[in-house]
Amino acid sequence: MTQHSEHPATSPDHAGRYAGALMNTFGPPKLVLTRGEGARVWDAEGRVYLDLLGGIAVNALGHGHPALVEAVSTQLHTLGHVSNFFTTEAQISLAEKLGALFGAEHPGLDRGVKVFFTNSGTEANEAALKLTRRTGRTHLVATEGCFHGRTMGALALTSKEAYRTPFEPLPGEVTFVPYGDAEALAAAVTDQTAAIVLEPIQGEAGVVVPPAEYLAAARSVADEHGALLWFDEVQTGMGRTGAWFAHSASGVVPDVVTLAKGLGGGFPIGACLGIGAAGDLLQPGNHGTTFGGNPVACAAALAVIRTIEQDDLLEHVTVLGHKLADGLAADPRVARVDGEGLLLGIVLHSPAAPAVADAALAAGFIINPAAPGRVRLAPPLILTQEEAAGFVEAWPGILDAAGVGTGPADDPSGGGA
């Protein structure tokens, strides 16, 4: 990557137009991006960046992947939208495929999977939340540091005070327990609990991985009280961790899984999967959406899944993730690298993540300071060995440019999307 002398690359014109025309929910954008190819994007000044964030774990196939472009264009030419009075081959095929992938990750599964499609992660969680209400119970248990989205129901399940406080009162009774603490979970769940909701790895918190037996403990606590177990895999799902789902390796079968982000590879789509009886909780009239299950979005997701299968990307993600993590952890200013596959959290000894992200951007790399002491990487799954090696090579210089020392590590406090 070339060194970028001037930064940020938003011209005064773009910055002013953005501020004048868009609500100020995200703060000023760092760049105006004009095009992308593979794992690279270009800004309005023609500078190139290696995209190690992938639109926050979204661009699974990178930018402009021919399979995605072809699938979306063909479907749009054929049939772009139908109402939910009707269905399409793409919608049914994608629901069947998601069920088959879930089944393949859980050999011997004796229950079917049913899907409700949405346009985003937060909507997938709204669907799941309404599904849990159909148990007749209203209490939910979620975890500190979690992120489930910004709509009112998903926000009620999100622990971060700064996101919640301006919008209270939020719906529902939610108890938050420390993430990774099975005893706290056991103490919080009662016979009135509708569901436990967990990210198998907390993404927005900066890629926080729970202890090995945590998901299994959550399953047994849920079973003990007749509660549903709901895994939010919006960020971790669809190959990001080197498996179709981040919970796959645990062998734990949840009742509900929510997906979005990488599912459509950049085309907006989310999904709420109900496993076994949970798939029958929502009945006619209980929920709906105009765009969810749109054939173009479903065709995009089918193309993403097909490409991951054909190009053996799960294996690639696993191997490359290890290499990348080992390469980055070799610098003594890195405490360790957490995560799985290509969802990595670089834990620094000091709360320098924002300065590191700025230095990386100036050096031509897009990364994310998800927490003060944690840098998140969620690159396209098609990232090449050479591209990853290029970042590892540049990494010590980025830390130098950011003035990073080996001071005390900062605990993740959550943040991001």
Ligand X SMILES: Cc1ncc(COP(=O)(O)O)c(C=O)c1O
Residue whose CB is less far from ligand X, 43 or 199: 199
Nearest distance in Å: CB 394, ligand X: 26
Is 122 among the residues that bind ligand X (CB under 6 A)?
yes
Q: Are 330 and 396 in contact (CB under 8 A)?
A: no
Judged by CB under 6 A, which of 59, 75, 88, 120 binds ligand X?
Answer: 120
End-to-end alpha carbon distance in the chain: 26
Residue whose CB is less far from ligand X, 38 or 180: 180
Is 121 among the residues that bind ligand X (CB under 6 A)?
yes
Nearest distance in Å: CB 258, ligand X: 7
Of 47-55, 62-70, 196-204, 284-292: span binding ligand X (CB under 6 A): 196-204
What is the edge-to-edge ordering of all strands in the sheet holding 173-177?
Answer: 113-118, 270-275, 256-259, 228-232, 193-198, 139-143, 173-177
Q: Are 285 and 80 in contact (CB under 8 A)?
A: no
Of 35-43, 107-115, 146-154, 361-369: span binding ligand X (CB under 6 A): 146-154
224-253 positions binding ligand X, by CB under 6 A:
232, 234-235
Is 338 among the residues that bind ligand X (CB under 6 A)?
no
Give Dmax (Cα) for the chain. 60
Sequence letter at residue 305: I
Nearest distance in Å: CB 324, ligand X: 20
Sequence letter at residue 61: L
28/19 Cα distance (integer angstroms): 7
H/E element holding 114?
strand 113-118
Is 149 among the residues that bind ligand X (CB under 6 A)?
yes
Judged by CB under 6 A, which of 43, 51, 199, 340 binds ligand X?
Answer: 199
- Burial of 223 per CB tally in 10 Å (0-12, 13-18, 19+): exposed
H/E element holding 37?
strand 33-37
Nearest distance in Å: CB 344, ligand X: 15
Nearest distance in Å: CB 262, ligand X: 11
Is 260 among the residues that bind ligand X (CB under 6 A)?
yes
Is 106 among the residues that bind ligand X (CB under 6 A)?
no
Residue whose CB is less far from ligand X, 10 or 235: 235
| Closest by Cα among 313, 275, 258 to 111 | 275
Residue 346 in tokens:
């670089």
Of 90-98, 114-122, 350-358, 393-401: span binding ligand X (CB under 6 A): 114-122
Residue whose CB is less far from ligand X, 237 or 372: 237
Is 273 among the residues that bind ligand X (CB under 6 A)?
no
Residue 273 in tokens:
């999967």
Q: Are 185 and 215 in contact (CB under 8 A)?
A: no
- Which residue's beta carbon is nearest to the bound ligand X? 121
364/379 Cα distance (integer angstroms): 14
| CA pseudo-torsion sign 74, 307, 305, 51 | negative
Is 126 among the residues that bind ligand X (CB under 6 A)?
no
Residue whose CB is less far from ligand X, 78 or 290: 290
Judged by CB under 6 A, which of 43, 51, 126, 204 binds ligand X?
Answer: 204
Q: Are 273 and 291 in contact (CB under 8 A)?
A: no
Sequence letter at residue 161: E
Judged by CB under 6 A, which of 148, 160, 225, 349 binds ligand X?
Answer: 148
User: Could you list the residues that contact ligand X (CB under 6 A)?
Assistant: 120-122, 125, 147-149, 199, 203-204, 232, 234-235, 260, 417
